[in-house]
C-alpha cells in the first residue's frame, strides 16, 4: 500500500511540473520583409545589317567564291549561347536553257523551281573566322562545311564546334563562305538558289 501511495505522489509531482512549464511566456518578436520583387530578364538575338549581308550574288560562275559577315547582336539583358544553326533551301530554280547548257542538261528546257543544279554545286561554310583570312583554320569555331544545300539542310540543327557565348549588349561575328565547284561546267548556267540561315539562342548559364 505504501508503494502505491508513493507512486501516486510521484505522478502528481511530475504533472505539476509539466503544468508550470507550459505556462511560461518567452520573449518573442516578428519582423516583416516587404517589397520582394522578381523581374524576368530578356533574351533576344538580332541579326544586324552589314554591307555584305544579306548575301546577294549575281552573275556568278564555276570556280568563283566569296564571303559575307553575319553580325549577331544580343539585344537582351541575359547572357546566352548560340546553340544551333540551321539552313533551309527556299529556292532551286532552273531559269531557262541556252545552247551550251542544253548539251549537258536535258531537262533545262522545262524551267521552274526545284529543277536547277546550282544548289547542288555550292560549298557553304559557316564559322567565326577569328583571323579574318576567309579560310576555315584549325581552332576556329565552325557550324558546317559541306557541298550542296540539300546535304546541309539534311541535318536540322548544326551545333558549333565550341561554345559561342554572347553577353548582353555584345556582338558575335560569323562568316559565310560559298564556293562554286570549278568542275561543274555549263549545267548551272542561269540557275538560281536561295537559302535561309536560322540561329537558336539560349540563356547561359
pLDDT tens for each residue of 88-135: 999 999 999 999 999 999 888 889 999 999 999 999 999 999 999 999
187 domain-assigned: yes
pLDDT band at 28 (very low <50, low <70, confident <90, very high): confident
Query: Would 151 be classed as within a structural domain?
Result: yes
Could you tell me if 109 and 97 are in contact, meaning their C-beta atoms sit under 8 angstroms apart? Answer: yes
Q: In this predicted structure, what is the pLDDT of residue 27?
A: 80
pLDDT cut 70: percent of the chain above it: 87
Strand, helix or coil for residue 131 = coil
Lowest mean pLDDT among 40-49, 75-84, 120-129: 40-49
Encode pLDDT of 57-79 as tens digits: 899 999 999 999 999 999 999 99
Confidence of residue 39 (pLDDT cuts 50, 70, 90): confident
Domain presence at residue 39: no
pLDDT at 121: 96
Please provide the average confidence, as pLDDT, over all residues in the chain: 85
Average of pLDDT values for 171-199?
94
Domain membership flag for residue 158: yes
Residue 199 inside a domain? The answer is: yes
Total domains present in the chain: 1
Q: Is residue 160 part of a domain?
A: yes
Kindly state the average pLDDT of the residues 28-37. 80
pLDDT of 179 strictly over 60: yes
Whether 96 is in a domain gets the answer yes
**Burial degree of 94 (CB within 10 A; 0-12, 13-18, 19+):** buried
Q: Is the pLDDT score of 199 beyond 70? A: yes
pTM of the model: 0.79
SS3 15: helix
| Residue 26 clears pLDDT 90, i.e. is over it | no
CA distances from 177 to 72, 96, 140, 161 (A): 17, 27, 14, 17
| Structural domain that includes position 80 | 45-203
Flag whether 10 is in a domain: no
Cα gap 79→169, rounded to integer Å = 9
Alpha helices in the chain (DSSP H): 2-22, 99-102, 149-153
- CA 176 to each of CA 59, 68, 168, 184: distance values in angstroms, whole numbers, following the listed order: 19, 5, 24, 21
Amino acid at each position: 500500500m505504501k508503494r502505491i501511495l508513493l507512486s501516486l505522489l510521484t505522478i502528481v509531482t511530475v504533472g505539476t511540473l509539466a503544468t508550470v512549464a507550459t505556462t511560461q511566456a518567452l520573449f518573442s518578436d516578428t519582423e516583416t520583409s516587404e517589397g520582394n520583387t522578381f523581374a524576368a530578364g530578356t533574351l533576344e538575338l538580332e541579326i544586324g545589317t552589314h554591307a555584305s549581308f544579306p548575301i546577294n550574288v549575281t552573275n556568278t560562275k564555276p570556280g568563283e567564291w566569296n564571303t559575307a559577315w553575319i553580325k549577331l547582336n544580343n539585344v537582351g539583358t541575359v547572357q546566352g549561347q548560340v546553340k544551333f544553326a540551321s539552313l533551309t533551301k527556299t529556292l532551286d530554280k532552273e531559269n531557262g536553257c541556252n545552247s551550251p547548257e542544253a548539251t549537258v542538261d536535258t531537262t533545262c528546257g522545262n524551267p521552274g523551281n526545284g529543277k536547277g543544279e546550282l544548289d547542288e554545286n555550292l560549298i557553304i561554310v559557316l564559322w567565326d573566322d577569328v583571323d579574318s583570312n576567309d579560310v576555315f583554320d584549325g581552332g576556329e569555331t565552325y557550324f558546317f562545311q559541306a557541298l550542296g544545300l540539300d546535304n546541309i539542310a539534311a541535318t536540322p540543327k548544326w551545333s558549333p564546334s565550341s561554345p559561342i557565348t554572347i553577353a548582353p549588349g555584345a556582338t558575335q561575328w560569323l562568316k559565310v563562305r560559298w564556293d562554286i565547284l570549278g568542275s561543274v561546267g555549263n549545267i548551272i548556267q542561269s540557275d538560281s538558289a536561295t537559302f535561309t540561315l536560322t540561329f537558336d539562342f539560349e540563356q547561359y548559364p
